[in-house]
């Protein structure tokens, strides 16, 4: 049978009409549910094109939050490509999803593939019963006892930080606070998680630093991969992805760059082989995973090598980036607000003097104003600025004529909430007094969620806070920081995975008596 140009034209025309009609039908989803929504545009819905990102996902979702809030809506609907997404605005609705009715929203809907992308199958991304089991097994890592043990390891890592800032101040050079903190936290996580001395200050081109930076590099191809694996339209859902993982792998649909994955897999394999061969034990994160792998747990559970590698990887990536970025933002704001910086320094000196000139665990717990500065930095600059959940079963919103169908995606704008003048008057002002005990008591439980909330709150929250406060104490105890002319107005990266400043963040440093 001969195919003519007319046949091809008819086929293309019919396909276009079908796509047009189907898209129109999909984009009326929230209208059919009587949920207020923003008019989408094919093919990206309400998002920016990956090849023309100007403000970034976090700012886009915050703008959507503000749009719904200004109209008095408790929630609204948007679309990511052809996928409907529910955006809660009212904090009582947020609380239902994150805490009260968590059993309906256990999963984040984050792509993971244990076969072709093993490092993606970590605690942050896995789902359902597997997540519950893993969370239970990993929780002993972050008890108060473990924090106290790791405390001195973090302080020891601070010696390299102290030497570096002393050298920089003597040379009267500006300090790139962003890179300094990244080197510090890389050393900390290398020691506390892997039992390795990274020595990043002596060797800034350490492989851990190189590959961790590479993980956060943006490219259009990687953005498209993430977009594909995050899609969940009727024709492309996560179950389809799981069943066809080998085909997607052949297409290059893995989120981690190949060399990054290979590096971390090899490092973790070498550590495990060395410890098991030489019967070496350390009280660190990898050791806890090895104890589970070897059955040294009460529940008789075990781990495969890939599972160990995935958990160690996410602990490293999340642990160094979130704390270093938050410290960077805090120091930038303290350089702009010298009265706040002076008050933090006075508190640190007073507490350290009380404990014989040493930074101690008990002393750190007494640094309350320092904690308020850290909290305010996370309020103004939430590192994970958008929280994501997926309905695991149909859910009727209490008191509303709205049912969120199974697999409905939920996006909560932390940036929108943390900058909402209803909860934080004059939200662009950096004001640590927002986090005084009395002010914290007045606010809604979900008005501040930099580590998430509910059963899926960040498991490493206390560790992250601990290493950040130690770093801040070391940096501020004997040194003063002022704005460098190049950083009077800090810009945020629109394409970064986490909220992060663009380029270097230079501050002037001088030693104080």
- Residues of each annotated binding site for heme: 458
**For residue 308, what are the CA distances in angstroms to 111, 287, 288?**
18, 10, 10
- The b-or-e profile of 472-498 (16+ CB within 10 A means b, else e) is bbbbbbbbbbebbeebeebebbbbbbb
**Dist CA 230 CA 237 (whole Å):** 8
Residue 473 CA, chain-centre distance (Å), reads 24
**For residue 204, what are the CA distances in angstroms to 106, 160, 209?**
40, 12, 7
**Dist CA 364 CA 468 (whole Å):** 11
Annotated binding site: 458
> Cα dihedral sign for 327, 507, 211, 153?
negative
Count Cβ atoms below 10 Å from residue 455 Cβ, excluding itself. 14
**Dist CA 185 CA 188 (whole Å):** 5
Q: Which residues pair with 359 in a beta bridge?
A: none
- For residues 460 and 467, is the Cβ–Cβ distance under 8 A? no
**Dist CA 309 CA 316 (whole Å):** 11
Q: With CA atoms as reference, report the closest residue to 413 among 72, 157, 61, 161.
A: 61
Q: Is the peptide bond before 43 cis (omega within 30 degrees of 0)?
A: yes
């Amino acid at each position: 049978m001969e195919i003519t140009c007319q046949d091809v034209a008819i086929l293309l025309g019919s396909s276009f009409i079908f796509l047009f009609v189907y898209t129109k039908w999909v984009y009326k989803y929230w209208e059919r549910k009587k949920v207020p929504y923003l008019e989408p545009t094919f093919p990206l819905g309400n998002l920016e094109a990956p090849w023309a990102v100007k403000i970034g996902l976090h700012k886009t979702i915050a703008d959507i939050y503000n749009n719904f809030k200004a109209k008095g809506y408790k929630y609204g609907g948007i679309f990511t490509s052809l996928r409907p997404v529910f955006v809660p605005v009212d904090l009582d609705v947020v609380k239902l999803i994150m805490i009260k009715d968590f059993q309906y929203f256990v999963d984040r809907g984050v792509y993971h593939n244990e076969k072709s992308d093993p490092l993606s199958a970590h605690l942050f991304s896995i789902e359902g019963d597997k997540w519950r089991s893993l969370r239970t097994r990993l929780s002993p890592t972050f008890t108060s006892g473990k924090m106290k043990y790791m405390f001195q390891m973090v302080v020891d890592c601070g010696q390299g930080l102290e030497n570096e800032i002393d050298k920089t101040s003597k040379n009267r050079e500006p300090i790139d606070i962003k890179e300094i903190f990244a080197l510090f936290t890389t050393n900390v996580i290398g020691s506390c998680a892997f039992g390795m001395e990274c020595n990043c200050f002596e060797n800034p081109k350490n492989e851990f630093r190189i590959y961790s930076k590479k993980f956060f590099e943006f490219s259009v191809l990687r953005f498209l991969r993430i977009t594909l694996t995050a899609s969940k339209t009727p024709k492309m859902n996560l179950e389809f992805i799981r069943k066809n993982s080998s085909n997607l792998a052949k297409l290059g649909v893995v989120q981690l760059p190949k060399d990054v994955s290979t590096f971390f897999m090899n490092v973790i394999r070498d550590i495990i082989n060395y410890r098991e061969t030489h019967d070496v034990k350390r009280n660190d994160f990898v050791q806890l995973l090895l104890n589970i792998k070897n059955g040294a747990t009460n529940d008789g559970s075990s781990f495969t090598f890939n599972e160990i590698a995935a958990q160690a990887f996410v602990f490293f990536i999340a642990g160094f980036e979130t704390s270093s970025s938050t410290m960077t933002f805090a120091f930038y704001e303290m350089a702009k607000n010298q009265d706040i910086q002076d008050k933090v320094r006075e508190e640190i000196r007073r507490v350290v003097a009380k404990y014989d000139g040493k930074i101690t665990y008990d002393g750190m717990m007494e640094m309350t104003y320092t904690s308020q500065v850290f909290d305010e930095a996370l309020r103004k600059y939430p590192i994970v600025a958008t929280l994501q959940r997926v309905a695991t079963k149909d859910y009727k919103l209490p008191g509303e004529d709205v049912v969120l169908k199974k697999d409905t995606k939920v996006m909560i704008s932390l940036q929108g909430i943390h900058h909402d003048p209803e909860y934080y008057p004059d939200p662009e002002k950096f004001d640590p007094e927002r986090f005084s005990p009395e002010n914290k008591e007045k606010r809604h439980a979900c008005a501040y969620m930099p580590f998430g909330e509910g059963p899926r709150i960040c498991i490493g929250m206390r560790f992250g806070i601990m290493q950040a406060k130690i770093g801040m104490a070391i940096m501020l105890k004997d040194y003063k920081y002022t704005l460098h002319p190049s950083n009077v107005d800090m810009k945020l990266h629109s394409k970064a995975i986490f909220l992060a400043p663009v380029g270097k963040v230079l501050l002037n440093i001088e030693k104080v008596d």
